[in-house]
Amino acid sequence: MKIRLLSTFIAFMVAFGGLNLTVLNAGSHASKDHEHTPLEDEMEAISKAFRTLRRQAKDPAKNAASAELAGKMHKAAVASLDFEPAWTAEQPAGEQADFVKGYKKEMEKFVGMLADLEKAFKADDNAKAEMIIGKLRDQQKSSHKEYKKPDDD
Protein backbone atom coordinates (compact mmCIF):
# COMPACT_ATOMS: atom_id res chain seq x y z
CA MET A 1 0.00 0.00 0.00
CA LYS A 2 2.80 2.39 0.91
CA ILE A 3 4.65 1.62 -2.33
CA ARG A 4 1.57 2.31 -4.44
CA LEU A 5 0.94 5.56 -2.56
CA LEU A 6 4.58 6.57 -2.98
CA SER A 7 4.61 5.74 -6.71
CA THR A 8 1.35 7.67 -7.20
CA PHE A 9 2.81 10.65 -5.36
CA ILE A 10 6.01 10.51 -7.46
CA ALA A 11 4.02 10.25 -10.69
CA PHE A 12 1.88 13.18 -9.60
CA MET A 13 4.94 15.30 -8.77
CA VAL A 14 6.66 14.44 -12.04
CA ALA A 15 3.55 15.25 -14.05
CA PHE A 16 2.91 18.59 -12.40
CA GLY A 17 6.58 19.34 -11.83
CA GLY A 18 7.26 18.83 -15.54
CA LEU A 19 4.40 21.14 -16.39
CA ASN A 20 5.67 23.80 -14.02
CA LEU A 21 9.21 23.50 -15.36
CA THR A 22 7.90 23.88 -18.89
CA VAL A 23 6.00 27.02 -17.94
CA LEU A 24 9.03 28.41 -16.11
CA ASN A 25 11.32 27.55 -19.02
CA ALA A 26 9.00 29.27 -21.52
CA GLY A 27 8.86 32.32 -19.27
CA SER A 28 12.63 32.52 -18.99
CA HIS A 29 13.04 32.37 -22.78
CA ALA A 30 10.36 34.99 -23.31
CA SER A 31 12.05 37.37 -20.93
CA LYS A 32 15.27 37.46 -22.95
CA ASP A 33 15.57 40.79 -24.70
CA HIS A 34 17.20 39.34 -27.79
CA GLU A 35 16.30 41.29 -30.89
CA HIS A 36 16.74 39.36 -34.10
CA THR A 37 19.12 40.93 -36.55
CA PRO A 38 18.01 41.30 -40.17
CA LEU A 39 20.45 38.51 -41.07
CA GLU A 40 18.85 36.19 -38.49
CA ASP A 41 15.43 36.97 -39.96
CA GLU A 42 16.61 36.06 -43.46
CA MET A 43 18.29 32.89 -42.21
CA GLU A 44 15.13 31.89 -40.34
CA ALA A 45 13.12 32.31 -43.56
CA ILE A 46 15.64 30.10 -45.37
CA SER A 47 15.53 27.50 -42.61
CA LYS A 48 11.74 27.26 -42.51
CA ALA A 49 11.48 26.94 -46.28
CA PHE A 50 14.31 24.39 -46.36
CA ARG A 51 12.64 22.13 -43.79
CA THR A 52 9.47 22.04 -45.87
CA LEU A 53 11.39 21.64 -49.10
CA ARG A 54 13.37 18.64 -47.85
CA ARG A 55 10.15 16.84 -46.90
CA GLN A 56 8.47 17.35 -50.26
CA ALA A 57 11.44 17.22 -52.64
CA LYS A 58 10.87 13.59 -53.67
CA ASP A 59 7.30 14.20 -54.76
CA PRO A 60 7.16 15.30 -58.43
CA ALA A 61 3.57 16.47 -57.91
CA LYS A 62 4.91 19.19 -55.61
CA ASN A 63 7.64 20.46 -57.95
CA ALA A 64 5.89 23.80 -58.56
CA ALA A 65 5.59 24.40 -54.81
CA SER A 66 9.18 23.22 -54.31
CA ALA A 67 10.42 25.62 -57.00
CA GLU A 68 8.55 28.42 -55.25
CA LEU A 69 10.17 27.53 -51.91
CA ALA A 70 13.59 27.41 -53.56
CA GLY A 71 12.84 30.85 -55.00
CA LYS A 72 11.95 32.19 -51.53
CA MET A 73 15.17 30.74 -50.14
CA HIS A 74 17.12 32.29 -53.03
CA LYS A 75 15.57 35.71 -52.39
CA ALA A 76 16.39 35.53 -48.66
CA ALA A 77 19.94 34.33 -49.38
CA VAL A 78 20.52 37.22 -51.80
CA ALA A 79 19.22 39.63 -49.13
CA SER A 80 21.62 38.02 -46.62
CA LEU A 81 24.56 39.18 -48.72
CA ASP A 82 23.83 42.74 -47.58
CA PHE A 83 24.49 41.87 -43.94
CA GLU A 84 27.43 40.79 -41.82
CA PRO A 85 27.30 37.99 -39.26
CA ALA A 86 26.75 39.23 -35.70
CA TRP A 87 29.86 37.29 -34.73
CA THR A 88 32.03 39.62 -36.84
CA ALA A 89 32.49 42.09 -33.97
CA GLU A 90 33.95 39.35 -31.78
CA GLN A 91 36.63 38.43 -34.32
CA PRO A 92 40.11 39.93 -33.89
CA ALA A 93 40.19 43.40 -35.48
CA GLY A 94 42.72 42.39 -38.13
CA GLU A 95 40.65 39.37 -39.19
CA GLN A 96 37.19 40.95 -39.41
CA ALA A 97 37.44 41.96 -43.08
CA ASP A 98 38.55 38.44 -44.06
CA PHE A 99 35.78 36.96 -41.91
CA VAL A 100 33.13 39.01 -43.74
CA LYS A 101 34.72 38.26 -47.12
CA GLY A 102 34.64 34.53 -46.36
CA TYR A 103 31.01 34.75 -45.24
CA LYS A 104 30.00 36.54 -48.44
CA LYS A 105 31.90 34.00 -50.56
CA GLU A 106 30.06 31.12 -48.87
CA MET A 107 26.72 32.91 -49.25
CA GLU A 108 27.37 33.50 -52.96
CA LYS A 109 28.05 29.77 -53.35
CA PHE A 110 24.80 29.07 -51.48
CA VAL A 111 22.88 31.51 -53.70
CA GLY A 112 24.21 29.75 -56.81
CA MET A 113 23.15 26.35 -55.52
CA LEU A 114 19.68 27.69 -54.72
CA ALA A 115 19.33 29.02 -58.28
CA ASP A 116 20.30 25.57 -59.57
CA LEU A 117 17.78 23.95 -57.21
CA GLU A 118 14.96 26.15 -58.44
CA LYS A 119 15.87 25.30 -62.06
CA ALA A 120 15.94 21.57 -61.23
CA PHE A 121 12.43 21.68 -59.80
CA LYS A 122 11.15 23.69 -62.75
CA ALA A 123 12.68 21.08 -65.09
CA ASP A 124 11.06 18.27 -63.03
CA ASP A 125 14.50 16.81 -62.31
CA ASN A 126 13.92 15.55 -58.78
CA ALA A 127 17.07 13.42 -58.74
CA LYS A 128 19.20 16.51 -59.42
CA ALA A 129 17.18 18.48 -56.87
CA GLU A 130 17.81 15.82 -54.22
CA MET A 131 21.54 15.94 -54.98
CA ILE A 132 21.58 19.74 -54.68
CA ILE A 133 19.63 19.58 -51.41
CA GLY A 134 22.33 17.29 -50.00
CA LYS A 135 25.03 19.72 -51.09
CA LEU A 136 23.09 22.64 -49.59
CA ARG A 137 22.80 20.79 -46.30
CA ASP A 138 26.54 20.06 -46.22
CA GLN A 139 27.39 23.64 -47.13
CA GLN A 140 25.01 24.96 -44.47
CA LYS A 141 26.62 22.83 -41.76
CA SER A 142 30.17 23.78 -42.68
CA SER A 143 29.34 27.47 -43.03
CA HIS A 144 27.50 27.60 -39.73
CA LYS A 145 30.51 26.09 -37.99
CA GLU A 146 32.64 28.89 -39.40
CA TYR A 147 30.35 31.95 -39.39
CA LYS A 148 27.49 31.41 -36.94
CA LYS A 149 28.14 32.35 -33.35
CA PRO A 150 27.85 29.31 -31.10
CA ASP A 151 24.72 29.24 -28.96
CA ASP A 152 25.15 30.27 -25.35
CA ASP A 153 23.07 27.30 -24.17
pTM of the model as a whole = 0.74
Using an 8 Å Cβ cutoff, are 124 and 60 in contact?
yes
The structural domains of the chain, with segments of one domain joined by +, span 1-32, 38-147
Name the burial class of residue 30, with classes exposed (0-12), middle (13-18) and buried (19+) by CB atoms within 10 angstroms of its CB.
exposed
Condensed to tens digits (0 to 9), the pLDDT of residues 112-143 reads 999 999 999 999 999 999 999 999 999 999 99
Longest dimension (CA), the chain: 71
Fold of 38-147: Four Helix Bundle (Hemerythrin (Met), subunit A) (1.20.120)
**Residue-wise pLDDT tens digits, 63-110:** 999 999 999 999 999 999 999 998 899 999 999 999 999 999 999 999
CB 53 within 8 A of CB 71: no
